[in-house]
């Protein structure tokens, strides 16, 4: 139903909350990096919030629609056009068979989202349509979309003419500085007070060596609590080493002196400490940050993080929409 003329950069099919229940077998959740924008795109066209859609990274695809439908674009502003005419983001609109959508380079933010009425209808793999590139699972062939492919879409009437008001949209950083919430743990007691103070007061630059598996950060060195040195040999020789244990998604994984935020396609366990964890409701900020931009971290309680997630889920419903 959608023909891929140009693929863009790592354009993939995702659904929310992704592939659950298989992480212990090596298959992470995957799913959209910015679930706020993704869910809102689906709600705009009349889909369930988690229906499969398209995530475009940095440079979007060029797509031809082979039947009439309803679409919505959210997330990064990719200055999209439909048959050469600008497409307003955060609104649902009707498209006709034969029309061509061009999603360009991201101007603000990093990842753009396309929802189509009915949702992408690729086969489920391990309970999800989400693409996990590194294992070749999900999507159309286990990988990012390629020019020449046809993307199937389920049939649905859609809801054109809806918009997400400004108050219900994520506010992207315009100064290249992102304020990111974190919760302490699971291994915060391996860092001394000076290390905690330094982490929470420093600017951390997002490295170009970052992807859907992990976000590598550049910043000051860490310092460690006595237990990081006075430990059993099976924990390993470096202060950041610990006996292999489970990693939460969003863990700030301390590989030696390099913090790496474990993202949607990250590993489920390993032998490094995780002093902090980015809660799921703050992932949209990570998703929209570009390499070279600055992350600043603010500690919140687990209860506050849980409320953030509940508030976000409650927002991503048709009740948030208004007529365009």
Q: Which helix (H) or strand (E) is 195 found in, with range?
A: helix 193-201
Considering the domain architecture, whether residues 148 and 183 belong to the same structural domain is answered as no
Residue 249 is predicted with a pLDDT of 95
Task: Give 226's contacts (C-beta < 8 A, 6+ positions apart).
Answer: none
Residues 68 and 208 in one domain: no
Number of domains forming the structure of the chain: 2
User: What is residue 153's DSSP assignment?
Assistant: B
Residue at 170 is within a domain: no
228 in the same domain as 194? yes
Instruction: Check residue 173 and give its pLDDT.
Output: 87
Q: Which of 141, 164, 187 is the last residue of a domain?
A: 164
- Determine the structural domain holding residue 147 and report its residue range: 2-164
* Same domain membership, residue 303 and residue 185: yes
pLDDT at 50: 98
Going 178 to 181 to 184 to 186, the CA torsion angle's sign is negative
pLDDT of residue 284: 98
Q: Give yes or no for a contact between 106 and 76, defined as CB atoms under 8 angstroms apart.
A: yes
Rounded to two decimals, what is the model's pTM?
0.96
Compute the distance between CA of residue 64 and CA of residue 68 in angstroms, rounded to an integer: 11
Q: Do 37 and 119 fall within a single domain?
A: yes
- Residue 171, domain member (yes or no): no
Flag whether 321 is in a domain.
no
Tell me the three state secondary structure of residue 285.
helix
224 and 76, same structural domain?
A: no
Return the CATH number at 286: 2.40.100.10
Measured distance CA(6)–CA(229) in Å, rounded: 52
Q: Quick one: 149 and 285 in the same domain?
A: no
Q: Kindly state whether residue 320 falls inside one of the protein's structural domains.
A: no
114/252 same-domain check:
no
42 and 121 fall within a common domain: yes
Q: Which residues pair with 260 in a beta bridge?
A: 216, 253
| Residue numbers of the chain with a pLDDT score lower than 70 | none
Q: Would 25 be classed as within a structural domain?
A: yes
pLDDT of residue 5: 98
pLDDT score of 324: 79
């Amino acid at each position: 139903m959608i023909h891929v003329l140009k693929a863009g950069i790592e354009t993939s099919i995702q659904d929310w909350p992704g592939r659950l229940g298989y992480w212990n077998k090596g298959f992470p959740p995957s799913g959209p990096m910015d679930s706020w924008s993704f869910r809102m795109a689906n709600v705009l066209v009349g889909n369930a919030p988690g229906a499969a859609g398209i995530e475009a990274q940095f440079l979007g695809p060029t797509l031809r629609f082979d039947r009439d439908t309803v679409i919505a674009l959210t997330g990064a502003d990719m200055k999209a056009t439909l048959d050469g005419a600008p497409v307003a983001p955060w609104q649902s609109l009707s498209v006709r068979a034969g029309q061509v959508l061009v999603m360009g380079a991201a101007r603000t933010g990093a990842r753009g989202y396309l929802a189509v009425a009915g949702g992408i209808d690729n086969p489920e793999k391990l309970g999800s349509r989400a693409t996990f590139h590194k294992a070749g699972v999900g999507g159309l062939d286990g990988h990012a979309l390629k020019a020449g492919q046809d993307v199937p879409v389920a049939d649905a009437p859609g809801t054109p003419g809806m918009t997400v008001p400004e108050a219900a949209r994520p506010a992207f950083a315009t100064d290249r500085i992102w304020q990111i919430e974190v919760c302490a743990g699971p291994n915060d007691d391996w860092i001394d007070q000076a290390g905690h103070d330094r982490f929470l007061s420093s600017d951390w630059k997002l490295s170009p060596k970052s992807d859907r598996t992990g976000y590598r950060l550049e910043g000051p060195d860490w310092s460690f609590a006595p237990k990081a040195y006075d430990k059993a040999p099976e924990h390993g020789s470096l202060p950041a080493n610990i006996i292999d244990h489970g990693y939460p998604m969003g863990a700030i994984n301390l590989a030696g002196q390099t913090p790496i935020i474990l993202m949607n396609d990250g590993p489920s366990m390993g032998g490094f400490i995780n002093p902090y964890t980015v809660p799921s409701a703050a992932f949209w900020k990570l998703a929209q940050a570009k390499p070279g931009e600055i992350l600043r971290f603010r500690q919140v309680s687990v209860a506050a993080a849980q409320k953030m997630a509940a508030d976000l889920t409650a927002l991503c419903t048709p009740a948030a929409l208004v007529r365009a």
